Chains A and B, each alone.
Chain A
Amino acid sequence: GAVVSQHPSRVICKSGTSVKIECRSLDFQATTMFWYRQFPKQSLMLMATSNEGSKATYEQGVEKDKFLINHASLTLSTLTVTSAHPEDSSFYICSARPRQGPSYEQYFGPGTRLTVT
């Protein structure tokens, strides 16, 4: 099946620093990638949708200047948390929709645990 990877799987950073999370579709091209945030024992909240080569579309309440998304190629999207604060600590999950194949398909990465101290 299709595989989506995320790197790093866990990261601890100091308050005020920036952290970049990578999301890659390993064996397919993804026209659309999604970034979600999940708090403990909570559901996934969509943060933004990105299409290759264009600006990301952010959900209401998500600060686009704080959560920078770059979808540079058909296999890579990055999420940069700028000037991170402890309240940004969360589990970040990306998802990718294949360029080709059945329209129902959407695959999820294993997630990145961000802890801001």
Chain B
Amino acid sequence: DAGVIQSPRHEVTEMGQEVTLRCKPISGHDYLFWYRQTMMRGLELLIYFNNNVPIDDSGMPEDRFSAKMPNASFSTLKIQPSEPRDSAVYFCASSNPERYEQYFGPGTRLTVT
């Protein structure tokens, strides 16, 4: 298995632009998680899905952030408009139910100038 796939690996954009991060979970995993990692705040859970349905989005910082999972093999995290404080590494992870083992992708390093 190729593991969790994220794209792009690096994204540099200007303030005000729309940013879309993509994730392909491991086949057969029912849960998908989006995290943000910064030096100041550490690793934060933004949102997670079960069977393509958002379960908990309480970690989404504000309305500029949105996430979708149109099918079992694809999810997006969108930031519109982006701001410099959104600069971070964004991770996607997936897991099987009741195994409690999250598999992380390599992350997308986002820089907003």
Q: Is B one of A's binding partners?
A: no
- A-contacting residues of B (Cβ < 8 Å)? none
- B-contacting residues of A (Cβ < 8 Å)? none
